[in-house]
């Protein structure tokens, strides 16, 4: 196990905008990454920004940030901020990311990249210009860096599945089942862009494209909003758990669930389901790939495991077997615990930070790039268009 000595490395000043659920996850990653991995730069939690002065100061204290700002523009202007980490709702991603890149900062932006294809295109353009000056722009599809998912990618790329025929993906949560759950920003189109589609569907579209190494060519979709009105929240909320419902109700303007089929450019057929109404399922991202030579299956609720079936084995001995992804040879695991001592959700953010810091040092782009985020955005747009046209097959433009 390497023994990093972070103090001997030049600092990389990080500034973060937003400090709710994702902000907490990213803060934890920035605090941890240089202590676990041997990095060329030492992330320094320079400052965070949020609108409420008291709340942002409390968040800085709780999550270990040196300073707090009440305006993201002031955060970007700081000399001690080299990298801007955007953890806000989607409606502000484009504006903040473009301003940060223009100011010469590196950027990490939470998913989905934006709320529309047009915004995502503008972000890709800003990233392209900034790359000429050695600036890095990455989008936070963190599940790529769960070690079992990274291993699955390696196995597909090494040809262990042969020709891919089927991609079967679901992302199931149940936090909206209660009709009394308040109308937080995640349920308003102007803030979130879309509902389960952009929040969960974006993850599974990215993961499916990453694992297969292929792009979706077209989709056929259904979306539904099961609960069309909800109690208005009394105050600003993080979007996941505020239950302080005041008098009055407002309209839910996003989907509660999206179900779609898709065709990959390489010929594989895919099914996707993204919902916040799957009672009993909390964070069940499951993906199965079937190829001519074998299959892989992954479930985020059992994230240290990867199931593999080798179809070249003689039938009497063949069958799915479980790979416990905790060996030091497995992706990212050389720096963690001895075999069998598993990792969790938060480690995917640490791994994301590791690869981003290394990219900042070398100046080489790191995936998922903004262009990858745009590809996902185009699929989301095709899903919405198809659903609006009663499920008509819609090409991903």
Residues of this chain that interact with ligand SOE (CB under 6 A) are: 21, 173, 199-200, 203, 283
Q: Closer CB to ligand SOE, residue 353 or residue 360?
A: 353
Contact 278, 173 (CB under 8 A): yes
Q: Closer CB to ligand SOE, residue 226 or residue 393?
A: 226
Of 141, 91, 89, the closest CA to residue 120 belongs to: 91
Of 76, 41, 16, the closest CA to residue 360 belongs to: 41
CB 112 to ligand SOE: min, Å: 9
Q: What is the CA 256 to chain-centroid distance, rounded?
A: 19
CB 16 to ligand SOE: min, Å: 16
CB 384 to ligand SOE: min, Å: 18
CB 389 to ligand SOE: min, Å: 27
CB 67 to ligand SOE: min, Å: 27
Q: How many CA atoms lie within 13 A of 94 on its CB side?
A: 18
Q: Closer CB to ligand SOE, residue 156 or residue 172?
A: 172
CB 22 to ligand SOE: min, Å: 7
Distance between CA 156 and CA 136 in Å, rounded? 27
The distance in angstroms from the start CA to the end CA of the chain is: 46
Distance between CA 325 and CA 348 in Å, rounded? 14
CB 142 to ligand SOE: min, Å: 7
Of 171, 178, 195, the closest CA to residue 252 belongs to: 195
Q: Closer CB to ligand SOE, residue 189 or residue 311?
A: 189
CB 380 to ligand SOE: min, Å: 14
Q: Closer CB to ligand SOE, residue 169 or residue 200?
A: 200
CB burial of residue 397 (10 Å; 0-12, 13-18, 19+): exposed
Contact 187, 220 (CB under 8 A): no
Q: Closer CB to ligand SOE, residue 116 or residue 173?
A: 173
CB 239 to ligand SOE: min, Å: 8
Distance between CA 192 and CA 206 in Å, rounded? 18
| Strand intervals (E) in the chain | 11-17, 42-49, 67-69, 83-86, 106-110, 137-140, 164-172, 216-224, 229-233, 245-251, 257-264, 269-275, 284-291, 294-299, 305-310, 321-324, 394-395
Q: Closer CB to ligand SOE, residue 82 or residue 372?
A: 372
Q: Closer CB to ligand SOE, residue 119 or residue 199?
A: 199
Residue whose C-beta lies closest to ligand SOE: 199
In degrees, rounded to 5, the angle at the alpha carbon of residue 378 between the alpha carbons of residues 375 and 384 is: 150
Q: Closer CB to ligand SOE, residue 34 or residue 368?
A: 368
Contact 225, 258 (CB under 8 A): no
ω into 16 cis (within 30 of 0): no
């Amino acid at each position: 196990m390497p023994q990093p000595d972070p103090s001997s490395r030049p600092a990389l000043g990080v500034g973060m905008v937003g400090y709710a659920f994702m902000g907490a996850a990213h803060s934890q990653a920035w605090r941890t990454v240089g202590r676990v991995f041997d990095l060329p730069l030492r992330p320094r939690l320079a400052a965070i920004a949020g609108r409420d002065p008291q709340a942002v100061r409390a968040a800085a204290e709780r999550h270990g940030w040196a300073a707090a700002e009440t305006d993201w523009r002031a955060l970007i202007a700081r000399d001690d901020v080299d990298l801007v980490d955007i953890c806000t709702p989607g409606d502000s991603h484009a504006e903040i990311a473009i301003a940060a890149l223009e100011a010469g900062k590196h950027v990490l932006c939470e998913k989905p990249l934006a709320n529309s294809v047009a915004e995502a295109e503008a972000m890709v353009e800003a990233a392209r210009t900034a790359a000429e000056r050695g600036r890095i722009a990455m989008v936070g599809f963190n599940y790529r860096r769960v070690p079992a998912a990274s291993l699955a990618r390696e196995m597909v790329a090494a040809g262990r599945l042969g020709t891919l025929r089927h991609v079967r993906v679901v992302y199931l949560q149940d936090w909206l089942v209660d009709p009394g759950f308040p109308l937080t920003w995640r349920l308003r189109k102007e803030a979130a862009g879309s509902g389960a589609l952009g929040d969960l569907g974006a993850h599974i579209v990215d993961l499916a494209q990453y694992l297969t190494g292929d792009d979706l060519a077209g989709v056929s979709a259904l979306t539904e909003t099961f609960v069309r009105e909800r109690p208005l929240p009394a105050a600003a909320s993080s979007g996941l758990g505020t239950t302080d419902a005041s008098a009055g109700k407002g309209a839910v303007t996003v989907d509660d669930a999206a179900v779609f089929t898709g065709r990959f450019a390489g010929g594989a057929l895919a099914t996707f389901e993204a919902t916040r109404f799957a009672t009993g399922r909390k964070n069940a991202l499951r993906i199965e790939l079937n190829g001519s030579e074998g299959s892989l299956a992954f479930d985020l609720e059992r994230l240290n495991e990867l199931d593999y079936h080798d179809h070249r084995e003689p039938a009497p001995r063949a069958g799915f077997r479980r790979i416990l992804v905790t060996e030091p040879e497995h992706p990212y695991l050389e720096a963690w615990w001895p075999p069998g001592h598993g990792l969790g959700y938060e480690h995917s953010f640490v791994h994301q930070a590791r690869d981003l810091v290394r990219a900042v040092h070398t100046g080489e782009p790191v995936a998922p790039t903004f262009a990858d985020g745009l590809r996902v955005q185009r699929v989301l747009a095709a899903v919405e268009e198809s659903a609006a046209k009663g499920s008509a097959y819609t090409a991903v433009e």
